[in-house]
Amino acid sequence: MKVIYPGSFDPVTYGHLDIIERCAKKFDHVIIAVLNNVAKNAAFSIDERLWLLKETTKHLDNVEIDSFSGLLADYAKEKNCTTMIRGLRAVSDFEYEMQMALANRKINNDIETLFMVSNSDYVYLSSSIVREIAYHNGDISCFVPKVVEDTMKKKLKGDI
Ligand code: ADP
């Protein structure tokens, strides 16, 4: 079975990677679909987010990295894949995720959203927390792989 794991990945964290690795074991093919939405004001450009995902999932040969803009339901049709994966950390994620899953199914009745419960080690972890800590010169090495940490440092120094 082929699945799509959509998100902002701004930047990718160990929480995302845990979901990706578990998906890669369970499903034949995993498409990580990075939302390229100008309105969302991302910290990392779409190319940076795609590159970081490629670098951190190199060891998984059934994982494809792609980007999309617009509606996920349209992207799903284009990719001929109607199974979406989303991660659930806490009850606080539930309301938004439920709303998105129902809205997507309303647009395209074939779309099913499957939820994967976060690894308990990463239940508190989000890209925004990583960005916040990094902006205040905190150590993010336990939240993200080295390549993400190094890229974040370069970004903060204004080198990229
Ligand atoms: P979005 O803006 O679409 O929520 P994110 O990149 O923040 O994009 O998250 C993408 C998906 O990964 C979401 O389903 C989110 O719940 C999940 N996710 C994010 N962080 C974690 C984590 N620490 N553990 C499990 N799932 C996570």
User: Any catalytic annotation for residue 105?
Assistant: no
In short, whether 44's Cβ falls inside 6 Å of ligand 1 is no
Asked if residue 159 has pLDDT above 90, the reply is: no
Residue 160 placed within a domain: no
Please indicate, yes or no, if residue 92 is contained in any of the structural domains.
yes
To test the pocket of ligand 1, the residue of 30, 41, 86 to mutate (highest count of ligand atoms within 8 Å of its CB) is: 86
More confident residue, 89 or 38: 89
Ligand 1 atom closest to residue 10's alpha carbon, by position in its atom list? 6
Q: Evaluate if residue 63 carries a pLDDT over 80.
A: yes
Residue 62 domain-assigned? yes
Give residue-wise pLDDT tens across range 102-132.
999 999 999 999 999 999 999 999 999 999 9
- The separation between the first and the last C-alpha atoms of the chain, rounded to the nearest angstrom, is 38
Annotation marks residue 127 as catalytic = yes
For the question of residue 154 being annotated catalytic, the response is no
| Structural domain containing residue 105 | 2-123
The arithmetic mean of pLDDT across residues 62-75, rounded, is 96
Reported confidence tier of residue 15, pLDDT bands at 50, 70, 90: very high
pLDDT tens digit sequence for 134-143: 999 999 999 9
The larger pLDDT score, comparing residue 85 to residue 91, is at: 85
Q: What is the 3-state secondary structure (H, E, C) of the chain?
A: CEEEEEECCCCCCHHHHHHHHHHHHHCCEEEEEEECCHHHCCCCCHHHHHHHHHHHCCCCCCEEEEEECCCHHHHHHHHCCCEEEEEECCHHHHHHHHHHHHHHHHHCCCCEEEEEECCHHHCCCCHHHHHHHHHCCCCCCCCCCHHHHHHHHHHHHCCC
Is the model's pLDDT at 40 over the cut of 80?
no
Q: How far apart are CA 78 and CA 21, in angstroms?
A: 24
What mean pLDDT value characterizes the chain? 95
pLDDT at 9: 97
Q: Do the domain assignments include residue 158?
A: no
Nearest CA to ligand 1 atom 12: 87
**Ligand 1 nearest atom to the CA of residue 124, by list position:** 23
* 11 Cβ inside 6 Å of ligand 1: no
Residue 131 bears catalytic tag: no
At 4 the pLDDT is 98
Nearest CA to ligand 1 atom 18: 87
Report yes or no on 130 lying in a domain.
no
Q: Residue 92: its pLDDT value, please?
A: 83
Q: How many independent structural domains does the chain possess? A: 1
- CB of 7 closer than 6 angstroms to any ligand 1 atom: yes
CATH of the domain at 74: 3.40.50.620
In a domain, 75, yes or no: yes
Nearest to 15 by CA among 135, 133, 121: 121
